[in-house]
Amino acid sequence: MVAVFDVGNTNLHAGIYEGRTFIQRWHVPTRSKLPVTRIRRILSRSKLSGVAVSSVVPHLTKQLVGLCGQYTVRAVVISSRIDCGIRYAYDDPATLGADRIAAIAGALARYRRDAIIVDAGTAITIDVALENGRHLGGLILPGMEMLAEAMHEKTAQLPRVRVERPKNLAGRSTEECLQSGIFNGTMNMISGLIRELRARYARDFLCVSTGGAGALMARHIPEIDKHDPDLCLYGALTIYYRNVSD
């Protein structure tokens, strides 16, 4: 069995795989006392042979690797410095987030298509990759919760609103105007960017969403072909097997 950890700014996602078969998953808030407790429980499994770590939270990465050492479990930490099967477009690949690397690897391994990957987490990332492993680049945008928080924190009178689709496109209250701007603005922006990327590269990209708001986006953005909630976990697992031989 292999344990896979996807450590994001908001949530830690973990899964157990037997070979490439998903057995169990967990989700816990990153900013709580639960992650280390949950990690210890997972690492204490007697049949565990290895761990894959995709993390954008450095202090938890360090803790995770340290715990793997305590339990004498082999750990593969995802980064551009190891074999991920990707040829990077970045000038400095070391600055490309592990979550994005895992998502790209997962999309290419699972679907074997030219792909646009929309990972809608705390921030929204969009990456473009070809079936042959060539990464063409991407975009980083604020997530909807981040926008809602920023609008409240950076102004004197705007309230903190719940992120949801409002009844009216043209809002009839300050709260509804904010909700429409955040929700409909984000959905239309992502929709337009996907269309522009397809036109710019003149390719029949499969567009896959993942992340906490990925399912919501897939329901409201027709350009998204498929939602894959476990894409980053599967990508990290794929990278693990590329770098470990039993």
Residue positions annotated with a catalytic role: 99
Measured distance CA(185)–CA(166) in Å, rounded: 12
Token readout for 3 is 């344990």
Alpha helices in the chain (DSSP H): 34-43, 58-70, 98-111, 144-153, 174-201, 214-220, 231-243
Q: Are 89 and 213 in contact (CB under 8 A)?
A: no
Facing residues of 117 across strands?
Answer: 127, 208
Q: Are 33 and 26 in contact (CB under 8 A)?
A: no
Q: Nearest Cα to 206, choosing from 135, 81, 105, 118?
A: 118
Measured distance CA(74)–CA(125) in Å, rounded: 29
Q: Are 13 and 233 in contact (CB under 8 A)?
A: yes
Query: Which 8-state DSSP code applies to residue 134?
Result: B
What is the CA angle 21-27-29, rounded to 5?
Answer: 155
Measured distance CA(49)–CA(166) in Å, rounded: 48
Token readout for 50 is 């290895």
What are the Cα distances from residue 240, in Å, to 7, 148, 235, 243? 16, 36, 9, 5
